[in-house]
């Protein structure tokens, strides 16, 4: 796994590019900051302090740029249409994390835009939120490649997620959400290394980098198992999230999918 120093180096490279292209005034990045970033090995505390000096939006843009040119997985870099960094509010209290872009996401450059994405949007609306209120990202930023002519998507390999995780870790550190929701077993494995059945993990609180993390089913699971009983399980998980965030929950919301079919 790349070190924080390696991530800082990527940040430095991206900030230098932005500074060269846009000039110091537009980016707010000083030569002193860049020089300090390029000193290696730097104590972790120094990097953290330095990153605090750079505006959060600039760091976010720099990270996005670093991801967009990443070739750590040569096969995925060669097959992708584009990287899929994430979407939504970079200052959100709530962040959903999926496993990897699929064919639709790879085409559009946005996470969760296919059928599973439409269902996730409905769930978010049922919570009284919009996609602009929250942030959505995947553990993997590139679509896992498939054999030529093969249709569909494949789940990411553990090694691929391990390589890409530092980007998500950095993204989460910048967004600072109050709550994380892992969508599905693979996302949970990518975030925590846990390899348990989703039925045993869902509805339970874990932590990731000291942030409360709830596991629930991936929306594509609900597309395959669309009984009210399964929908209710996911909805109960969302009620836990709403309560933890201190959101108001109406009686109508409490009753969604209560009658199991």
Q: Which is nearer to ligand SF4, 71 or 204 (CB)?
A: 71
- Residue 209 has what DSSP assignment? T
- Give contact residues for ligand SF4 (rule: CB under 6 A): 67, 70-73, 76-77, 83, 140-142, 160, 163-164
Beta bridge partners of 97: 137, 182
Q: Which is nearer to ligand SF4, 67 or 239 (CB)?
A: 67
Q: Which is nearer to ligand SF4, 76 or 129 (CB)?
A: 76
- Residue 178 has what DSSP assignment? S
Q: Compute the least distance from the CB of residue 102 to ligand SF4, in Å.
A: 14
Q: Compute the least distance from the CB of residue 249 to ligand SF4, in Å.
A: 37
Q: For 190, list phi and psi in degrees, rounded to 5.
A: -65, -35
**What is the 3-state secondary structure of 180-197?**
EEEECHHHHHHHHCCCCC
Q: Which is nearer to ligand SF4, 7 or 89 (CB)?
A: 7
Task: Count CA atoms closer than 13 A to 76's CA, side-chain side.
Answer: 30
Q: Which is nearer to ligand SF4, 63 or 127 (CB)?
A: 63
Based on its alpha-carbon atoms, the radius of gyration of the chain, rounded to whole angstroms, reads 19
Q: Compute the least distance from the CB of residue 118 to ligand SF4, in Å.
A: 24
User: How many whole angstroms separate alpha carbon 209 and alpha carbon 227?
Assistant: 34
Return the closest-CA partner of residue 179 out of 134, 218, 222, 137.
134
Q: Which is nearer to ligand SF4, 109 or 212 (CB)?
A: 109
Q: Compute the least distance from the CB of residue 2 to ligand SF4, in Å.
A: 9
Q: Are 153 and 118 in contact (CB under 8 A)?
A: no
Q: Compute the least distance from the CB of residue 153 to ligand SF4, in Å.
A: 14
Kindly tell me the burial class for residue 107, based on how many C-beta atoms sit within 10 Å of its own C-beta (0-12, 13-18, 19 or more): middle
Q: Are 139 and 164 in contact (CB under 8 A)?
A: yes
Q: Compute the least distance from the CB of residue 78 to ligand SF4, in Å.
A: 9
């Amino acid at each position: 796994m790349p070190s924080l120093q390696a991530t800082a180096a990527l940040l430095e490279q991206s900030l230098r590019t932005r500074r060269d292209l846009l000039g110091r005034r537009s980016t707010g990045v000083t030569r002193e900051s860049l020089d300090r970033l390029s000193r290696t090995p730097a104590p972790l505390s120094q990097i953290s302090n330095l990153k605090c000096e750079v505006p959060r939006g600039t760091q976010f843009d720099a990270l996005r740029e670093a991801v967009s040119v990443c070739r750590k997985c040569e096969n995925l870099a060669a097959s992708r249409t584009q990287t899929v960094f994430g979407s939504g509010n970079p200052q959100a209290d709530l962040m959903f994390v999926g496993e990897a872009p699929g064919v639709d996401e790879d085409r559009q450059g946005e996470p969760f835009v296919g059928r599973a994405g439409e269902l996730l949007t409905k769930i978010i609306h049922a919570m009284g939120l919009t996609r602009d209120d929250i942030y959505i990202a995947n553990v993997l930023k590139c679509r896992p490649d498939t054999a030529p002519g093969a249709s569909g998507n494949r789940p990411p390999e553990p090694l691929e997620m391990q390589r890409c995780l530092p980007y998500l870790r950095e993204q989460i550190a910048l967004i600072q959400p109050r709550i994380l929701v892992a969508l599905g077993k693979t996302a949970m494995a990518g975030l925590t290394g846990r390899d348990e059945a989703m039925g045993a993990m869902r509805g339970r609180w874990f932590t990731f980098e000291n942030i409360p993390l709830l596991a629930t089913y991936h929306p594509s699971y609900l597309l395959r198992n669309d009984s009210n009983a399964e929908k209710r399980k996911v909805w109960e998980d969302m009620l836990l999230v709403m309560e933890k965030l201190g959101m108001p929950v109406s009686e109508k919301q409490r009753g969604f999918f209560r009658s199991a079919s």
